[in-house]
Structure 1
Amino acid sequence: MIKKIGRSIEYLLKPYFKWRYWSTLYRNMVRQIDYFPSNKENNECIPYINKPGIAFSFDDSYRVYDWYKYGKDLFGYYDIKVTFNINGVNPLENYREHTQQEIDKLLELQAQGHEIAHHGFKHKTTTNYALKYGVDSWLKDEIDSLLHWMENHSHSTTNERFKKPVSFAFPHFVYNEEILKEIVPKYFKVARGHLYKDNLTNFNAVGYVPSICLDGYYSYSAYYLRKIIKLLKKTGKNLILTCHSILPEEHSGELYGVGKKASEWGTWRVSTRLIKTIIDEAKKNNLEFYTTSEIAGIATFIDHKMEEAVREHLSISSYKDIEIKELMKVKELDLSNKGISNLDGIEYFLNLEKLNLRNNELNDFRLLKKLPKLKNVSIDGQLSKKKKTFEGSLFTHLKGSCVILSLNMMAFGNSFSCI
């Protein structure tokens, strides 16, 4: 009887505690942000430099079926990239390793441009494990083991492989300074935790980066999320939002098996409707969307041939990360005859004026519209079979650009220029 009364009181007080948590969080952010200069003082608000944005960060890869089923098309529709923080095992099923089907789904998310980041091989609480077995054992068992696992797995049909992770997400948000120093910058450029100071992150961040969690017992407040999104416009900083599963609100029941742990972890979920609300509100406020690695200043590419061509052009070895700030310095870029089929990553070249894309396999040029200083593009000799789509896509997305654009389409018997 007493337990029932206790649960009833807890249920009734939950909205109050939720309101108190989010209102306090928001007020603290306001106090901190007031000390930062407004973007109104900047002449330009430029992505990857000072244009604020949001990074969705999803934890625990035993939820990959939810990510794939409800997130893949949703993020594709809005044309945004997010970060998925993975483990090598499923802790709810006796720590079995991921199946090939699960690995394929993770790699297909990566192939869409999403970041696959490190979340510990077995999702062990960092400080507890290090205290019991030592920091070196934690590094070996949780960090090195997952890196080795990622290196040794590939997609069953495409042979796509995991990219070297740039960021790490602390399991359960738990960490200490000693462990942070052990993994940054030796293993990763940034390590994501939970709340810290103003909860925002600068571009080219190194070390610890905070986040705001939207699910579990933190729940969320749509009202305060809208207010926080509006706050971002006053800064040149970014907000990382931590989530876990993506599920429709009507989805209920035992999600990940039976038992107390499975039941508890099943509450760590956000709805597709909430994700849409955040995206729509952010776009309304002219914010960008980034991955955690992009906030850390590291470029990612979908097409391996595109990445190889960029590395060759800038003489960057395959062992080094490609820094976005270096790509911003480039004014001329020759990517001809590289077999490129996807231009993802070209949006980092914000000062690019001249671009040679001759003799590739491209049919989608929408990303070129994101290059404000682009004046000349050479694109003849594309091997795309979708000629009509190619021509229409090109004309639609480049004709309205506010730059002088010279286009040569000799391969299709067309040539035109627009101002």
Structure 2
Amino acid sequence: MKLHYTKALFFLMFLTFFSCENKKQKQESKPYKAGVILSFDDAYVDEWYEADQALKKYGWKATFNVCRIDSIGKPQIKKLLQLQKEGHEIAGHGYHHYNAVKFVNQNGIDAYMQQEVDPMIVSMKRLGFNVTTFAYPYGERSDALDKALSDDFKIIRGRAFGGEAPEKQDSFFSNSKIVFAFDIDNSHIHFSIPYVLELLDYAQKHNKILLLCGHKPVKNVTENYQTKIETLEFICKYMKLNNLKFYKTSDLDDLLPEE
């Protein structure tokens, strides 16, 4: 009897160990190819559409994070739908474009969800946009906000504000649904083509996915929150020459470790 009990106990321990090992294996990151996510914030739809015409030759794909959806005109909605049809991602960026952290400090998270997130989701769905990711206006976030948004969005994007060495940059995908993008607007204090080249080289050499964000693509910069088309051309050319993949923010959900 004692022998049977010992065998049964050993068998249960083996099953437990095997189960734990399986869980560990499931949490390992999935293999992916080095690449870049190009994303654009706010509602510069006409400029986004023009940029798409200029960059189609590279087979590019981008994520357009849209705010104030109900203030966008019908011609622009039509352009957004066309961009979505071509394989680009239309994502959320807030109904009013509130600074999430400041708003929550004054009004609470429930009010933020009711005023900034819920109506955005309803309106974008009504207009035909399948929104699964969200980019914080101004890039400011908190753990509490991340948790509140997690039920509605598969990937949540903040901003990487610094100009650290590439190996210390937060703007690379790290197997988390919370991601950060480096700003390539000309007005960003840490932006420069040589620095972007460093980030691209690091992504290529270390098989990383680099996240970049901008606002209004233009030929000539005249004010803040503008990204030169020349910068986007440089990035796309580098990607084609070095066999980097164009990702959308929503693509990252398929790369997350299984829980």
Task: Report if TM-score (shorter chain) is over 0.5.
Answer: yes
Residues 269 and 295 of structure 1: is their aligned pair in 2 closer, same or farther, counting only changes over 3 Å? same
- 1:83 matched to 2:40: no
> How many Å apart are 1:219 and its aligned residue?
5.8
- 1:176 matched to 2:142: yes
**Equivalent residue, structure 2, for 1:222:** 193
AA aligned opposite 2:57: Y
AA aligned opposite 1:101: P
**Equivalent residue, structure 1, for 2:82:** 108
User: Secondary structure at 1:144's aligned position in 2?
Assistant: helix
- 1:275 matched to 2:236: no
Gaps of 5+ in 2: 1-29, 162-167
AA aligned opposite 1:292: T
> How many Å apart are 1:58 and its aligned residue?
0.2
Partner Cα separation in structure 2 for residue 137 and residue 172 of structure 1: 19
> How many Å apart are 1:60 and its aligned residue?
0.3
* Contact 1:230 1:285 (8 Å CA) reproduced: no
- 1:209 matched to 2:183: no
* Contact 1:180 1:207 (8 Å CA) reproduced: no
Q: Higher relative CO (CA 8 A, sep ≥ 6), structure 1 or 2?
A: 2
* Contact 2:171 2:212 (8 Å CA) reproduced: no
**Equivalent residue, structure 1, for 2:17:** none
User: Secondary structure at 1:217's aligned position in 2?
Assistant: coil
Partner Cα separation in structure 2 for residue 206 and residue 104 of structure 1: 33
> How many Å apart are 1:243 and its aligned residue?
0.5
Gaps of 5+ in 1: 1-47, 90-95, 154-160, 253-265, 299-322, 326-419
The percent of aligned pairs where both chains have the same amino acid is 28
User: Secondary structure at 1:296's aligned position in 2?
Assistant: helix
- 1:136 matched to 2:117: no
Residues 108 and 269 of structure 1: is their aligned pair in 2 closer, same or farther, counting only changes over 3 Å? same
AA aligned opposite 1:190: I
Within the candidate set 231, 234, 240, 2:211 is matched to 240
Partner Cα separation in structure 2 for residue 247 and residue 198 of structure 1: 27
What count of residue pairs does the alignment treat as equivalent? 221
**Equivalent residue, structure 2, for 1:31:** none
Q: TM-score, normalised to structure 1's length?
A: 0.50
> How many Å apart are 1:138 and its aligned residue?
0.3
**Equivalent residue, structure 1, for 2:164:** none
> How many Å apart are 1:200 and its aligned residue?
4.0
1:298-337 alignment to 2 at 5 Å?
none
Question: Higher Cα Rg: structure 1 or 2?
Answer: 1
* Contact 1:212 1:241 (8 Å CA) reproduced: yes
CA deviations 1:337-385 (Å, max 9, x no partner) are xxxxxxxxxxxxxxxxxxxxxxxxxxxxxxxxxxxxxxxxxxxxxxxxx
> How many Å apart are 1:113 and its aligned residue?
0.6
* Contact 1:54 1:239 (8 Å CA) reproduced: yes
Residues 219 and 271 of structure 1: is their aligned pair in 2 closer, same or farther, counting only changes over 3 Å? farther
C-alpha RMSD of matched pairs (Å): 2.1
User: Secondary structure at 2:212's aligned position in 1?
Assistant: strand
Partner Cα separation in structure 2 for residue 88 and residue 243 of structure 1: 17
* Contact 1:125 1:172 (8 Å CA) reproduced: yes
Q: TM-score, normalised to structure 2's length?
A: 0.79
Partner Cα separation in structure 1 for residue 170 and residue 227 of structure 2: 20
**Equivalent residue, structure 1, for 2:153:** 188
Structure (1/2) with the larger helix percentage: 2
AA aligned opposite 1:54: V
Partner Cα separation in structure 1 for residue 46 and residue 115 of structure 2: 26
Partner Cα separation in structure 2 for residue 244 and residue 213 of structure 1: 9
* Contact 1:117 1:168 (8 Å CA) reproduced: yes
> How many Å apart are 1:149 and its aligned residue?
0.7
**Equivalent residue, structure 2, for 1:64:** 45
